[in-house]
């Protein structure tokens, strides 16, 4: 069940706000953004934001927290389609189909802005920086899909960890971060087993490429990790 709290954080304190509130840092623009947001949801871990076949009406921006999207195959198996973090948006794939394609569920306690699609379009029309950021997010998702599923298991995991370090803190890559998802979820997303993920993480640790403390990851040799991921050819923003 989704919990709604009227005492929500304002847009000024949202992790998405750097992309909404740029050169237009004036009360009128901030109020316009606040009016565009229909409501805020407070999701507990494992609570569902939307389900497949729900009619598309809104775009969802993550103020705080982490979510995953997934679908269920004919055999009842969960197939993870993506992870989303603070400052990112969900639901863009439903613009074409007019209904959501996947289930979206919280990986941790999260705060979500619900923005009606028409309001979202109006904000894009008024803010070129926001247009640029949304195009960047869409391109990012396409890029992730292109490299995670066409290389070896070792390369996939290395690329995933590097990408994750940027997305968890877009302003500057962090050498130390907490994994917001389980190893089983990572394996599901990368189309690898949880055992393979654990083996590869142990391998990276033994080679002193990363340090691991439960869910805490620290990069010790980032350049070596990039070499494993084959990211030094200019294809990726590193």
Q: pLDDT tens across 72-90, in order?
A: 999 999 999 999 999 899 9
Percent of the residues in the chain that have a pLDDT greater than 90, as a whole number: 60
Tell me the backbone φ, ψ of residue 237, rounded to 5 degrees: -80, 100
Tell me the backbone φ, ψ of residue 131, rounded to 5 degrees: -55, -45
Which among 19, 49, 50, 20 has a CA at the least distance from the CA of 34?
A: 20
pLDDT for residue 150: 67
For the ranges 32-46, 65-79, 113-127, 191-205, which has the lowest average pLDDT? 32-46
Q: What mean pLDDT do residues 148-157 have?
A: 84
Tell me the backbone φ, ψ of residue 59, rounded to 5 degrees: -100, 145
pLDDT for residue 137: 82
Q: Decide: residue 206, CB within 10 A, 0-12 exposed, 13-18 middle, 19+ buried.
A: exposed
- Residue 51: is its pLDDT beyond 60? yes
Q: Decide: residue 28, CB within 10 A, 0-12 exposed, 13-18 middle, 19+ buried.
A: exposed
Residue 108 CB-half CA count within 13 A: 14
Q: Go through the domains of the chain in sequence order and give each one's CATH number.
A: 3-127 (2.60.120.10), 149-229 (1.10.10.10)
- Residue scoring higher pLDDT (120 or 13): 120
User: Using one digit for the tens of pLDDT, what is the confidence trace for 212-232?
Assistant: 999 999 999 999 999 999 865
Residue 1, CA distances (Å) to 52, 82, 153, 225 in order? 16, 22, 36, 40
Tell me the backbone φ, ψ of residue 122, rounded to 5 degrees: -65, -40
Q: How far apart are CA 8 and CA 162, in angstroms?
A: 32
Q: How far apart are CA 238 and CA 234, in angstroms?
A: 8
- Residue 233: is its pLDDT beyond 70? no
Tell me the backbone φ, ψ of residue 226, rounded to 5 degrees: -65, -40
Q: Cα–chain-centroid distance for residue 160?
A: 12
Q: Decide: residue 74, CB within 10 A, 0-12 exposed, 13-18 middle, 19+ buried.
A: exposed
Query: pTM of this prediction?
Result: 0.85
């Amino acid at each position: 069940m989704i919990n709604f709290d009227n005492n929500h954080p304002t847009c000024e304190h949202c992790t998405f706000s750097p992309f909404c509130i740029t050169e237009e840092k004036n009360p009128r623009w901030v109020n316009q953004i606040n009016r565009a947001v229909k409501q805020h949801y407070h999701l507990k871990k494992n609570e569902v934001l939307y389900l497949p076949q729900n009619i598309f009406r809104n775009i969802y921006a993550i103020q705080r927290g982490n979510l995953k999207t997934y679908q269920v195959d004919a055999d009842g198996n969960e197939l993870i389609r993506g992870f989303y973090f603070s400052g990112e948006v969900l639901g863009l794939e439903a613009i074409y189909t007019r209904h959501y394609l996947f289930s979206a569920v919280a990986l941790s306690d999260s705060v979500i802005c619900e923005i009606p699609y028409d309001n979202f379009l109006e904000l894009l029309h008024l803010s070129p920086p926001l247009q640029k950021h949304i195009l960047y997010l869409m391109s990012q998702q396409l890029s992730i899909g292109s490299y995670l599923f066409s290389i070896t298991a070792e390369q996939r995991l290395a690329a995933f960890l590097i990408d994750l370090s940027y997305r968890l803190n877009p302003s500057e890559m962090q050498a130390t971060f907490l994994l917001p998802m389980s190893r089983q979820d990572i394996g599901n997303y990368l189309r690898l087993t949880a055992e393979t993920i654990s083996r590869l993480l142990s391998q990276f640790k033994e080679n002193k490429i990363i340090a691991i403390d439960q869910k805490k990851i620290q990069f010790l040799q980032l350049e070596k990790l990039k070499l494993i991921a084959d990211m030094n050819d200019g294809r990726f923003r590193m």
